[in-house]
Amino acid sequence: MIIFTLRRLNLLLFTVLLLTLLSFSLSYLFPGDALINLSGEINATPAQLAILSDEYRHQENIFMQYWAYLSHVFSGDLGISMASHLPIIEEIKILLPATIELSLAALLLAMFVGVPIGFIAAIKHEKLADNIILTVAMFGYSIPVFWLGLLAILVFSIQLGWLPSAGQISLLYEIKHVTGFQIIDILLSDSAYKWQAFQNATAHMILPTVVVALAPATIFVRLARTAMLEVLDKSYIRAAKAKGLSFGQIIYHHAIRNAMVKVIRDVGLQFANLVTIAMVTEVIFSWPGIGRWLIESIYQRDYTAIQSGLLMLSSFIFLVHIITDFIYAALNPLARESNHGA
């Protein structure tokens, strides 16, 4: 297990280095001056520019420049936004948690709905239930998010008026910013309207979460179905049958766990996909997350923001990937062994 952990940490370090390298090279690839792209100081006077050039070691060779950039990044300085002139790290601190909240909620929803349905489909293999589930999953997968989001707003917010259509919480509630995660902050706050605020925030979350979760859920249905079918064909299932265990016992004690192991391994990959969907959804639902901010930055040609935002978002995705790897290892004794843990 120690070796497994070290390997994952190693991988994390390496990937973060690669990501910073990519984001550093973007400052050269974007139009304009690399130094200004990195720092975001578009209105700097020549004197300020000289100081910046010194800070980012822009007179030296490219390796020293990269090194200087790295030390800036790791000391928490991502430059300032070209559009708002605020430090980017401060904006990200506010925006990223909102995205994390939305995407994790959607991931959990997609898994809790998709995986059991996939298992049921596998157990009812080639029966009516299986066919219905597969058809619905295929249909759900092919709906464009954009259209689904607008449709959801049209039906549930405008026509039925059940759920709010925009934002994270009603402006009435003032929640102190502690962790950045809305739900946690609400629970931490000592406001008298805590529960109303909580309900309001939850109501705001429902529509975007469902919209984000739909396509990944259908993928989980198919992943879980394939995994379960594979497991049910294994010798140990047949052996368990011969032991005299009932079908339910076999499913609960052996099949689900082994199928879960296979599903978890793919969650990390699916998560990148899910975050992409979440970015589009944030725009539709005016969700104050990093995805919407990034897309706005692209419109505004805010290169500093694009570059730093991408760095943060991809680091987050990768972190989730690593975490799912740990869950995978916890479920699968084979992966924990040093000689198997590649």
Listed residue (216, 211, 102) closest to 151, CA to CA: 211
Record the tokens describing residue 2, joined without a space. 């120690």
In this complex, which beta carbon is closest to other proteins, that of residue 177 or of residue 257? 257
- Where does residue 40 fall: left (phi above 0), alpha (psi -120 to 50 degrees), or beta otherwise? left
In this complex, which beta carbon is closest to other proteins, that of residue 94 or of residue 129? 129
Q: Which residues contact 186 (CB under 8 A, 6 or more apart)?
A: 173, 175, 194, 197, 198, 201
Least spacing, CB of residue 156 vs other proteins, in Å: 41
In this complex, which beta carbon is closest to other proteins, that of residue 222 or of residue 262? 262
Q: Let me know if 326 is exposed, middle or buried by CB neighbors in 10 A (0-12, 13-18, 19+).
A: middle
Q: Which residues contact 193 (CB under 8 A, 6 or more apart)?
A: 173
Least spacing, CB of residue 260 vs other proteins, in Å: 9
In this complex, which beta carbon is closest to other proteins, that of residue 122 or of residue 313? 122
Least spacing, CB of residue 254 vs other proteins, in Å: 5
In this complex, which beta carbon is closest to other proteins, that of residue 262 or of residue 292? 262
Specify whether the CB–CB gap between 58 and 250 falls below 8 A.
no
211: enclosing H helix or E strand: helix 194-232
Least spacing, CB of residue 247 vs other proteins, in Å: 10
Which residues contact other proteins by CB under 8 A? 234-236, 238-245, 249, 253-254, 257-258, 261, 331-334, 337, 340
Residues in the chain: 342
In this complex, which beta carbon is closest to other proteins, that of residue 238 or of residue 301? 238
Record the tokens describing residue 267, joined without a space. 């969650």
Least spacing, CB of residue 127 vs other proteins, in Å: 11
Least spacing, CB of residue 233 vs other proteins, in Å: 8
Least spacing, CB of residue 234 vs other proteins, in Å: 7
Residue found by looking up tokens 């401060």 in the block: 90
Q: How far apart are the first and last CA of the chain?
A: 12
Q: In Å, how far are 64, 266, 325 from 330, measured between CA atoms? A: 41, 15, 9
In this complex, which beta carbon is closest to other proteins, that of residue 192 or of residue 242? 242
